[in-house]
């Protein structure tokens, strides 16, 4: 039963409790406020969302939501739902605030499956929305905007290069997915989330167009001119612009005094035997401009104590702890939310960096957004020293990203700002969640660079992170993988 006497949540850490979030606002605002589920989930609890039944298939895609129930079932059984506290969505901004770093932290928070393919620039507009004169190289796509069929809208939006829309349902849905949106505001329209500039931290993938002194006709002439430029530039200008916007919104401390060049993300689970080797490889880097965000994922061995000691000895080390084992995707996400560096790279607790690896990310003038490195693979049987197996070389896989995973996390580094478009690791994917993110990085328009330089040593062992991760039987996995 849903307890009608459950208290309204005050925003304190859930610590294992269940909170019922219920929609009390129209669909556009509900989509905008869904981002706060990330902050609620950070407190270690379970999140249930009550929403109109037609919205459920889409809102269930939010990685921070554990379950979606229909508002029609409340109050009532709702499948035996038990909750400890509740809160309407409209209450969440009062609990967590509306500062830029708060509202941009969890973007995107709805999945975008697929992406625009080759061919003309695919520009979406809502049904009934005016269409400017056709620039050459643009294919207009009418996108359904009926809240009773949100799944149809999601499918159409995922295949676009760009959406042109007003302050409406599609803008908020596309913004939540990280789709690039040009928002056309009407005369005098100034929604609080849009602010007064051309960009907004609420949706870093959006660009705001406001009528000037010459009115709406001049505004549409400007939009048409911009579309001409984007189509002629084969989308490069569009993607470059919004990678910049997303990076500006998400780089809260990057580039400021004290922010490191590189953030190293390390999930840890029962790794006390191997953790000293990984930490030593980090301390031995020729580039000292790094931070380590090491997240213990519910270990029951001395790993947490080793991380706390490392943090005491080196201020660049940040030791975090999840209250229970949630898997490597959740552990990496907890680290990414605290990361401050311009670049992000990954070091599992049983692997090791080459001494010069981080120095490569500190080089000036790197043109790529994502760098894929070679690395040495060692077989670690556990009853003897690791044995060299082979060098994993990504050169021969540069055109096969959607066919085969090009590398483990050890072999990849990316600009932190890209997470504003691609999202974090999908915690619902039980296996090869890294490949899932790599493909979303590519779909965001990121430029990949491949290098034969070795990043480090990858250790394959029977009790390693990849072999012992949680694998829920009902969780999705990447196509072509086996357990």
Question: Judging by DSSP bridges, how do beta strands 121-126 and 85-88 pair with one another?
Answer: unpaired
Measure the CA–CA gap between 125 and 65, rounded to whole angstroms: 29
Q: How confident is the model at residue 107 (pLDDT cuts 50, 70, 90)?
A: confident
Tell me the pTM: 0.58
- Percent above pLDDT 70 for the chain: 83
Q: How far is CA 274 from CA 172, 386, 427, in A?
A: 45, 12, 25
CATH architecture of the domain 262-468 equals Alpha-Beta Complex (3.90)
Domain ranges across the chain: 7-97, 121-250, 262-468
Measure the CA–CA gap between 147 and 26, rounded to whole angstroms: 10
Tokens of 439: 């493909």
Q: How confident is the model at residue 408 (pLDDT cuts 50, 70, 90)?
A: very high
Please give the pLDDT value at position 114. Answer: 61
CATH topology match: 7-97 vs 121-250: yes
Do the Cβ atoms of 432 and 477 come closer than 8 Å? yes
Do the Cβ atoms of 273 and 244 come closer than 8 Å? no
Q: How confident is the model at residue 350 (pLDDT cuts 50, 70, 90)?
A: very high
Residue 371 has pLDDT above 90, yes or no: yes
Nearest by Cα to 383 from 463, 280, 268, 303: 463
Q: Which CATH number is correct for 7-97, 3.10.260, 3.40.50, 1.10.287, 1.10.3470?
A: 3.40.50
The three-state secondary structure class of 453 is strand
Q: Which residues contact 177 (CB under 8 A, 6 or more apart)?
A: 108, 110, 111, 112, 154, 157, 158
Q: How confident is the model at residue 287 (pLDDT cuts 50, 70, 90)?
A: very high
The string of DSSP letters for 427-441 reads: TT--S-HHHHHHHHH
Convert 372-412 into a string of H (helix), E (strand) and C (coil). EEEEEEEECCCCCCCEEEEEECHHHHCCCCCCCCCCCHHHE
Name 299's bridge partners: none
Residue with tokens 């995107």: 108
Measure the CA–CA gap between 314 and 46, rounded to whole angstroms: 34
Q: What does the chain come to in residues?
A: 483
Q: Each residue of 327-338: pLDDT tens digit?
A: 999 899 889 988
Q: Each residue of 70-85: pLDDT tens digit?
A: 887 765 544 567 889 9
Measure the CA–CA gap between 266 and 282, rounded to whole angstroms: 11
- Max avg pLDDT among 93-102, 227-236, 254-263, 466-475: 93-102
Do the Cβ atoms of 153 and 189 come closer than 8 Å? no
Name 344's bridge partners: 263, 414
Residue 462 has pLDDT above 80, yes or no: no
Residue with tokens 């911009």: 226
CA dihedral 378, 381, 383, 389 (to 10 degrees): -30
Measure the CA–CA gap between 241 and 272, rounded to whole angstroms: 44
Mean per-residue pLDDT, 281-285: 96
More confident residue, 318 or 178: 318
Q: How confident is the model at residue 472 (pLDDT cuts 50, 70, 90)?
A: very low
The fold of 121-250 is Rossmann fold (3.40.50)
Q: How confident is the model at residue 256 (pLDDT cuts 50, 70, 90)?
A: very low
* Candidate from 249-263, 325-339, 351-365, 409-423 with smallest mean pLDDT: 249-263
Please give the pLDDT value at position 246. Answer: 41
Do the Cβ atoms of 338 and 295 come closer than 8 Å? no
Residue 253 has pLDDT above 50, yes or no: no
* Candidate from 9-18, 80-89, 412-421, 439-448 with smallest mean pLDDT: 439-448
Mean per-residue pLDDT, 267-279: 94
The rounded mean pLDDT for the chain is 82
Q: How confident is the model at residue 252 (pLDDT cuts 50, 70, 90)?
A: very low
């Amino acid at each position: 039963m849903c307890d009608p006497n459950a208290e309204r949540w005050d925003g304190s850490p859930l610590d294992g409790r269940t909170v019922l979030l219920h929609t009390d606002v129209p669909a556009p605002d509900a989509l905008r406020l869904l981002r706060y589920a990330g902050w609620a989930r950070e407190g270690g609890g379970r999140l249930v969302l009550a929403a109109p039944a037609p919205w459920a298939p889409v809102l269930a895609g939010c990685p921070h939501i554990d379950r979606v129930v229909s508002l029609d079932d409340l109050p009532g059984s709702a499948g035996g739902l038990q909750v400890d506290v509740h809160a309407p969505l409209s209450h969440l901004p009062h609990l967590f605030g509306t500062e830029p770093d708060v509202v941009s932290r969890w973007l995107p928070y709805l999945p975008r499956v697929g992406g625009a393919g080759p061919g003309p620039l695919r520009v979406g507009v809502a049904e009934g929305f005016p269409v400017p004169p056709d620039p050459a190289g643009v294919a207009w796509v009418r996108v359904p905007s009926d809240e009773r069929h949100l799944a149809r809208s999601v499918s159409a939006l995922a295949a676009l290069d760009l959406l042109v829309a007003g302050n409406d349902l599609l803008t908020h849905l596309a913004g939540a997915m990280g789709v690039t949106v040009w928002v056309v505001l009407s005369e005098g329209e100034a929604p609080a989330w849009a602010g007064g500039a051309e960009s907004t931290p609420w949706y870093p993938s959006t660009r705001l167009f406001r009528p000037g002194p010459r009115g709406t006709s001049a505004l549409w002439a400007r939009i048409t001119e911009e579309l001409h430029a984007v189509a002629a530039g084969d989308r490069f200008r569009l993607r470059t612009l919004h990678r910049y916007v997303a990076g500006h919104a998400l780089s809260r401390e990057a580039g400021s005094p004290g922010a490191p060049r590189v953030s190293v993300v390390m999930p840890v689970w029962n790794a006390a035997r191997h953790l000293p080797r990984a930490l030593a490889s980090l301390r031995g880097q020729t580039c000292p401009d790094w931070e380590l965000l090491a997240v213990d994922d519910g270990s029951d061995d001395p790993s947490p104590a080793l991380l706390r000691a490392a943090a005491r000895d080196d201020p660049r080390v940040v030791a975090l702890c999840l209250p229970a084992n949630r898997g490597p995707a959740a552990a990496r996400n907890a680290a990414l939310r605290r990361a401050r560096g311009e670049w992000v790279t990954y070091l599992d607790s049983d692997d090791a960096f080459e001494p010069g690896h981080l120095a490569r990310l500190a080089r000036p003038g790197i043109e790529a957004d994502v760098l894929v490195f070679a690395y040495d693979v060692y077989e670690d049987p556990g009853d003897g020293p690791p044995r060299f197996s082979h060098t994993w070389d990504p050169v021969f896989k540069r055109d096969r990203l959607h066919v085969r995973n090009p590398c483990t996390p050890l072999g990849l580094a990316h600009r932190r700002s890209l997470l504003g478009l691609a999202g974090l690791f999908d915690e619902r994917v039980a296996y090869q969640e890294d490949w899932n993110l790599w493909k979303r990085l590519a779909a965001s328009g990121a430029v990949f660079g491949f290098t034969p330089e070795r990043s480090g040593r990858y250790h394959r062992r029977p009790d390693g992170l990849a072999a012992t991760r949680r694998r829920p039987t009902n969780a999705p996995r990447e196509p072509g993988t086996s357990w």
